[in-house]
Structure 1
């Protein structure tokens, strides 16, 4: 009974003794290299403050003093009116040669 208690204390104490080495972590009889220190992630950046719109101008600019004069010569109207574009009326004979209104085609 005492032997079991001594073995338990010896084995159990090795698991809970903190390692005095700063570069190693020992658990029981096994030692591992300490992982490199990782900086905790930075907190998320706060959104920038809203940009203030510039204040309205204090004085309204005056209207122009002189109006531009109207054009002296008016351009003449066109001499000939261009004809309207020719639009071919739709015909079923272009694509459908078997249409009853189309003349029979000679081979």
Structure 2
């Protein structure tokens, strides 16, 4: 991998850490409704991340309001993981694992 790729991976890792830290400090809300998540990240990405098990839909317990909610830290981590996946070609990821 070249220096630029490594730099991009480190930047995304730091971003994940920032979101986790803000959440643990109570500065961001951890709960994101399904509609909020779809509005922010798009229906296709939410479905893709759920199928890959990058995020989990947690039952709200009140189906009149919403069926599931997501954790913001999981959504932000999935978003950064996707960014990293876009920086490194898939064949390069799996080629180096062999």
TM-score, reference length from structure 2? 0.18
Task: Name the structure, 1 or 2, with higher relative contact order (CA <8 Å, separation 6+).
Answer: 2
- Structure with the greater alpha carbon radius of gyration: 1
